[in-house]
Amino acid sequence: METSASLELAKHTLLLIGTVLVAGSASGLLARLLRIPDVAVLLLVGIFLGPEILGVIQVKADSAINQLLLIFGSSYILFDGGASVRLKVLKQVWLTVVLISTVGVLITAAITGLAAYYIFGLPFIVALLLGTVIASTDPATLVPVFKQIHIKPRVAQTVMSESAFNDAMGAILTFTILGIAMGTGEFSIGSAALDLVKQTVFGIAIGGALGYLAAMLIAHERFSFLAEYAPVVTLMAVIGAYMGADGLQASGFMAVFVFGIMLGNQDALGFKVSKKDSAQLEDFILTTSLIMRMFIFILLGSQVNFALMGEYAIGGAALVTIFMLIARPATVFLCTLPDTKAKWGFNERLFMCWTRETGVIPGALAGMLLGMKAPHAEMIASVTFIAILMTILIQATTTKWLAQKLDLLE
């Protein structure tokens, strides 16, 4: 019986993989015809195939396979985004990235929390908890959008870097506020700041060390004995960077992003790769990222609970509108103002106001709150999914149009 059960589970998993790949390929073709980023189509296809409509895909949010795909998929997509960031560009905008991924999360959370307090009539600490859950941007959504739409480098790389670095701030803030809401903790600016510094330093150190080591083993003149295994090295290092950082209670996503930056800037590190080897590695990364994107957004769409969302649909839509049109613009303009070196133009700021999709990371935080039976967790999860749907379907699909209007296409 045990063997039979294992065999059925294996068949079910294999069928799931095949279904996602077929649906994902069809979604990609449709997205190309519609000339929109494929994440929006993948999300809609996932909703259509999920238990709410056809019931073809039924994977619970807290299942091991879903968590595995979310963690590895998001990590690899983030690594791909890091590999496309250039250090010379990052040097020009580093202050904006630091401010918007730390202070910016606080500004967004505060404005959104205040709006939730008045819209839903929640206790203020619970309203603030909702604001912190959806305050951070999502790299798994933004990176694919910017890989498909060629925005001017410093704008695209600033937004991608922000999405990689602000998940640590978002998670720290969420669980700090959660402790107060559940009566198990007290807010301390010192401890929160110390935790953020720890996560940042360890995340950057682990990602940087593994990135340098991987670049050396792939492209060093004497030690490049793993040059033929470069794709395997990226897989091992992405897993190692995430798990190493997570084991030290640092940001795994920050570690894999920095690893990607190191590997994508091998020339700046003094390593040289042949055009042939570079093209082969790039093809592998693009293909793997595409597959991970299919799984993440189709599964995310399949887990949308319309019954849960229905109760808070109007209030949630109003809150997300404030979140998109007031909280984000305030965050961008306040955080770019001190960075006089970057010399941000109004059009660039306006574009960054619009590109802040909510996705996997806020969805995962909302799922954790449900599992921990946090106060008003179902309402928070409901509004989080409304934010995911609205930002991806509205903002991601209009990114190219807005960039064209603002003259920011490369």
On whether both 382 and 316 belong to a single domain, the answer is yes
Residue 354 domain boundaries: 68-405
d(CA 210, CA 242): 11
132 part of a folded domain:
yes
Residue at which a domain ends, from 13, 37, 60: 60
d(CA 156, CA 165): 14
390 part of a folded domain:
yes
On whether both 178 and 40 belong to a single domain, the answer is no
149 part of a folded domain:
yes
pLDDT score at 308: 75
Residue 208, Cβ density class (10 Å: 0-12 exposed, 13-18 middle, ≥19 buried): middle
pLDDT score at 270: 76
On whether both 19 and 112 belong to a single domain, the answer is no
pLDDT score at 366: 77
On whether both 131 and 252 belong to a single domain, the answer is yes
Neighbours of 142 (CB within 10 A): 28
51 part of a folded domain:
yes
Residue at which a domain ends, from 21, 41, 60: 60
On whether both 235 and 351 belong to a single domain, the answer is yes
pTM to 2 decimals? 0.80
On whether both 123 and 152 belong to a single domain, the answer is yes
Find where tokens 């189509």 sit: 41
On whether both 8 and 134 belong to a single domain, the answer is no
On whether both 17 and 76 belong to a single domain, the answer is no
pLDDT score at 187: 56
13 part of a folded domain:
yes
Domain count for the chain: 2
On whether both 47 and 87 belong to a single domain, the answer is no
On whether both 286 and 226 belong to a single domain, the answer is yes
pLDDT score at 256: 87
119 part of a folded domain:
yes
Residue at which a domain ends, from 27, 44, 60: 60
410 part of a folded domain:
no
Q: Which CATH number fits the domain that encloses residue 164? A: 1.20.1530.20
On whether both 287 and 199 belong to a single domain, the answer is yes
- Report pLDDT digits (tens) over 336-361: 999 888 889 999 999 999 988 887 77
Q: Which residues contact 392 (CB under 8 A, 6 or more apart)?
A: 39, 40, 43, 141, 357, 358, 359
On whether both 227 and 306 belong to a single domain, the answer is yes
Q: Which residues of the chain have pLDDT under 70?
A: 1-3, 183-190, 192, 220-226, 371
- Report pLDDT digits (tens) over 275-321: 777 778 788 888 888 888 888 888 888 877 787 778 888 999 999 99
